Amino acid sequence: MTRLVIARHGNTFAPGDIVTRVGGRTDLPLVASGRAQGEALGRHFAALGISFAAAFCSPLARTRQSAELILAQTGNDIEPASEAFLTEIDYGPDENRPEDEVRARLGEAALLAWDGAGEVPEGWLVDPPALVAAWAAFFARIAAGYPDADVLVVTSNGIARFALAACAGAAAAAPLKLRTGAYGEIQVSPGGGARLVNWDIRPAPAPGA
């Protein structure tokens, strides 16, 4: 079995910042708390004895920075490889708009349906079947390339949730949303079949971080 760890990048907003709906067209770096989240993930994996044979991220800075922080803590001297399908979705008219404006345009019910069932709100540019297929193809590729190894993926919330739909029965067994600095674990069989082990686990940063 290949153990696939899927982590969401750390925070890109500091206290007092206006929080916006950040998609694939907005490339923000991590803030201090986001870097602390990346380090906390790395320490957590190191404590579990996880040693990554490979790492993947999106082309966005926030995912690459998070991956590098994790790998530094686990002692894995590898370079994260960029995968285009891991790039966050395009939020259309809501891209980089303040969350209160997004909520006012779409309504609370639409956002709850997105977080609870993956129903795409009006105007967002995302193809769920294509993303589910991309995850399934990725599972098959890492199973063939990294059998019986630990593999790290760092992506964004809008992309990570579709990994669940590529796992048999997983979408009904877990919340779709992955919080910043949280991760899930998926077991991938040699044939590429996937089974969810856990989801949305968020290690605590070090005191004072």
Length of the chain (residues): 209
According to the model, what pLDDT value does residue 175 have? Answer: 79
Judged by DSSP in three states, 6 sits in: strand
Q: How confident is the model at residue 142 (pLDDT cuts 50, 70, 90)?
A: very high
Query: Is 107 contained in some domain?
Result: yes
Query: Is 26 contained in some domain?
Result: yes
Judged by DSSP in three states, 170 sits in: coil
Q: Which of 37, 33, 44, 59 is nearest to 5 (CA)?
A: 44
Query: Is 209 contained in some domain?
Result: no
What is the tens place of the pLDDT at every residue in 152-195? Answer: 999 999 999 999 999 976 766 667 889 999 999 999 999 889 99
Q: How confident is the model at residue 201 (pLDDT cuts 50, 70, 90)?
A: very high
Q: Report the number of distinct structural domains present in the chain.
A: 1
Query: Is 29 contained in some domain?
Result: yes
Query: Is 208 contained in some domain?
Result: no
Q: 205 pLDDT exceeds 90?
A: no
DSSP 125-143: B--HHHHHHHHHHHHHHHH
Domain housing 40: 2-201
Q: 59 pLDDT exceeds 80?
A: yes
Q: Can you give the CATH number for the domain in which 34 is found?
A: 3.40.50.1240
Starting at the earlier edge strand, list the strands of the sheet with 2-8: 81-82, 52-57, 150-155, 2-8, 183-188, 194-201
Interatomic CA distance for residues 171 and 173, integer angstroms: 6
Q: What is the DSSP letter of 45?
A: H
